[in-house]
Chains A and B, each alone.
Chain A
């Protein structure tokens, strides 16, 4: 069965420092991987996705993510965190060749401190 793990419930980082939000996945085929962000009382906003090709994917708001097939990971990164990046982040996976069925991780809350 497909699954996504976000091992950290919360990540704390100082403004201006680099941030990483971790995601690992377990699927039986080739994965498509997504990151979404949720600000308070808002819906999920799409940040970026990995389909194929370059393992480093660039997305919205200066975020990027690196696909690592051998470690089955898709960590979200940003070189310099902003206080406004504080939000709930979700990693999701769907399976190539299947229908558009997203399996979500439990979410990681990012807190960026001034």
Chain B
């Protein structure tokens, strides 16, 4: 999985609780992404980062925030989890932001919000 780890790999939480997912890379790539995967939707971009402390919103960013204090770590936070945020979350990295650049994905985090 291209030097990308995600933690935790599985999490069950209750509605209204905060949740933080971590993505860690050893490739020293500048660009990092958070996606969610839902049946019938493929993967949808939540947030992305183009450098330390530089982030921007993706297609489905409502209810999520991100932070990147180090090149290797990209955190996704659900401030107050809702059942609609039950999903599988994937982190990805790329070497550049050119649109032909390949993104490489981590193993995913399966989140269940009760």
Bound together, the chains give a CA A45 to CA B61 distance in angstroms of: 24
Q: Give A96-113 interface residues, CB cut-off 8 Å to B.
A: 96-102, 104-107
A57 interfacial contact with B, CB 8 Å: no
Interface residues on B, range: 20 to 34
> Complex: how many Å from CA A106 to CA B44?
10
Which among B1, B92, B94, B103 has the highest number of chain A CB atoms within 10 Å?
A: B103
Total interface residues on A, CB under 8 Å, equals 27
- Shortest C-beta distance, B107 to chain A (Å), equals 5
B45 with A49: CB separation less than 8 A: no
Cβ of B81 to closest chain A Cβ, rounded Å: 22
Chain B hits for A101, CB < 8 A: 45, 58, 99
- Given A43-B1, A43-B90, A43-B106: A106 in contact with B42 (beta carbons within 8 A): yes
19 contacting pairs across A/B (C-beta < 8 A)? A4-B42, A32-B99, A34-B102, A41-B108, A43-B1, A43-B4, A43-B90, A45-B105, A46-B104, A92-B42, A96-B99, A99-B97, A99-B99, A100-B98, A101-B45, A102-B45, A104-B42, A104-B43, A106-B40
